[in-house]
Structure 1
Amino acid sequence: MVIRKSIGERIFDASNYTLLALLGLLSLLPILHVVAGSFSSPNAIIHNHVFLWPVEPTMEHVNTVAANADFWRAVWMTVKVTAIGTLLNILLTVMGSYPLSKANLRGRKGIMLFILVTMIFQAPIIPVFMLIKELHLLNTMWALIIPSAISAFNMILCTTFFRGLPEELFEAAKIDGMNDYRIVFQIALPLSKPIMMTLILFYAVGHWNSYMGPLMYITDRSLQTLQLYIYYMMAGSMSDIGMSPISDVSLSLVPKALEMATIVLATAPIVVLYPFFQKHFVKGAMIGSLKG
């Protein structure tokens, strides 16, 4: 059955689509400009000819960044933090969400209230820094993982999803002699692929784009992450990160193209992986927010 819309509804829909399309294009403009600048020639950048597409296309800037050992060291550090941190995040979130999804858990309301309080009131930066220092975690990878080991919002999202799973399955599994750990990993997780993909995306992107943590806890340049590497590149000179200008044409403009090329290479992994998570991300976010 096709529901016919009134003229007012069609005008409203057209206005929404137009507005969203314009907002989408506006959000793409700076991204396209950075991509165009990273693949444009130094001469085009110097004369400010680059806007939304490469002018005199060249791979010179990208190749220079890719040839820098410090850049790949930062990439490897970021990959390690993202992989280990996301694995720990998912494990703690699942182990916390599953019992909280059970109505017969004693003190469940109090625990949920405590979790909600942590979302509203967060510890100031200085006490957190002092705690990390006292634990001797400064200039270690764990300083970037442990403080963000679990997200209250993601735990609530996962808890809401688990509540929507058929309780009869878990009761039947207990009758068959399965303990809670086997139920979680053999029944709950296989049925929770959408929400798991959503949480993996949330946590992984958070670790990959993390800036404040590395800035506060990492002073050793050999342990800097990708975002910290970009910060030093944009705040200082090329020599601060072990890179020399590729051209004598302009020492003030060509480094800008190197910054753009670095940003493009740093963003590429997330852009490449996102399409594979998009379907599960949308489904998991919708189900996790509506079920309960």
Structure 2
Amino acid sequence: MTSGVITRAAGRRDAPKKKPARRGPAVPVRLGKGLLLLICCAVVLIPFLVVVSTSLADNAQITAAGGYVVWPTHPTFDAYRAILSGGVVTHALFVSIGVTVVGTLLSLLCTTLLAYSLATPGSFGSRPLLLIVLFTLLFTPGIIPSYLIVKELGLLDSYWSVILPVLVNGFNVIVMRSFFAELPKDVLDSARIDGAGEFRILVRIVVPLSKAVIAVIGLFYAVSYWNSFFTAMLYLNDASKWPLQLILRTYVIDAAPLGADNLGVPTDAVPPQQSLQMAVLVISLVPILLVYPFLQRHFAKGALIGAVKG
């Protein structure tokens, strides 16, 4: 009997103690976080709302509001009809779309080929090429040497002058190479044993397994081409070849007036300048806002590539 009591007592002593339940943050802390998040959202969304509202306002509302409208009482699309009626803004929009699509596809192609060659063990010249890519991350070419090279190649006033000088980005190459280097070696070796060439392995195996990193790098390139105006300002002297961002800089930042000649509409149908400027700004933002949701599910995974090993 005594031994049984001792056994039960020992069992109670050896029994694991229950850990206290973890409590969430206090109510004031949660309210403070919610308020801070609300303020951050307001700081981001209110300027965008003002831009959109001003683009939809007429002359009377803009005059009454002193230039910028927070909420239009009688929204109108006259500004969008004017800038999309076939004038300089419409032409610049098509130029930006063409440069972005062609540049992104070529940059993805070159970056993928270069990254795969650098990630493949034993490929010819992979070590010197990797050092050159790393060198470009530390030292960037100056404006004058770049301009002289573009001029000597005969690319001035050509759309290739805004694509070829920035065709491959060293950072994107390193990110994609890190992803390719962590792909299962057994799968690639099995394909080589079966007689598949490197290009076939890249197209049939590596690319389907690398949709996340390709989507992220493609988004990086697309945003870079779409928002670029400095290279166009350097290399494109013909104003009829300017992309949308350079038009945006000219007519919004430099406050050059958008008249009937630039818009292709009658003089009496020209909306207020503030509405036209904000409408150009909205049109320059919409394409990226439309593309991003389709790549969002790949973005979180692809942005962390190379950050975790094992």
Q: TM-score range by the shorter chain?
A: 0.7 to 0.9
Q: 1:103 to 1:261 in 2, by over 3 A?
A: same
Where has structure 1 moved over 4 Å in runs of 4 or more? 3-18, 103-110, 244-249
Q: Aligned-pair distance for 1:132?
A: 0.8
Partner of 2:54: 37
Q: Residue in 1 aligned with 2:206?
A: 188
Give TM-score scaled by structure 1 length.
0.88
**Aligned 1:1-292 pairs, distance under 5 A:** 5-6=22-23, 18-48=35-65, 50-105=68-123, 108=126, 110-234=128-252, 235=254, 236-239=256-259, 242-243=262-263, 254-291=272-309
Contact 2:216 2:295 in 1 (8 A): yes
Mapped to 1, the partners of 2:216 and 2:261 lie a distance apart of 35
Question: 1:14 deviation in Å?
Answer: 6.4
CA distance in 2, matches of 1:199, 1:127: 27
Q: Identify if the C-alpha distance between structure 1 residues 204 and 240 changes in structure 2 by more than 3 Å, giving closer, same or farther.
A: farther
* Partners of 1:121 and 1:167 in 2: CA distance: 34
* Structure with max Cα Rg: 2
Secondary structure of residue in 1 paired with 2:228: coil
Output the CA distance in 2 between the equivalents of 1:56 and 1:114. 58
Moved more, 232-241 or 212-221: 232-241
Tell me how far 1:281 sits from its aligned partner: 1.6
Deviation of 1:241 after TM superposition, in Å, equals: 6.8
- Cα distance in 2 between the residues matched to 1:109 and 1:20: 47
Range moving further from structure 2, 104-113 or 61-70? 104-113
The Cα shift of 1:51 comes to 4.2
CA contact (8 A) 1:144 1:214 kept: yes
TM-score by length of 2: 0.83
Question: Structure 1 16/55 Cα, relative in aligned 2: closer, same or farther at 3 Å?
Answer: same
CA offsets 1:95-129 (integer angstroms, 9 cap, x no match): 11112223545765554343222112111111111
Q: Residue 97 of structure 1 contacts residue 156 of structure 1 at CA under 8 Å; is this kept in 2?
A: yes
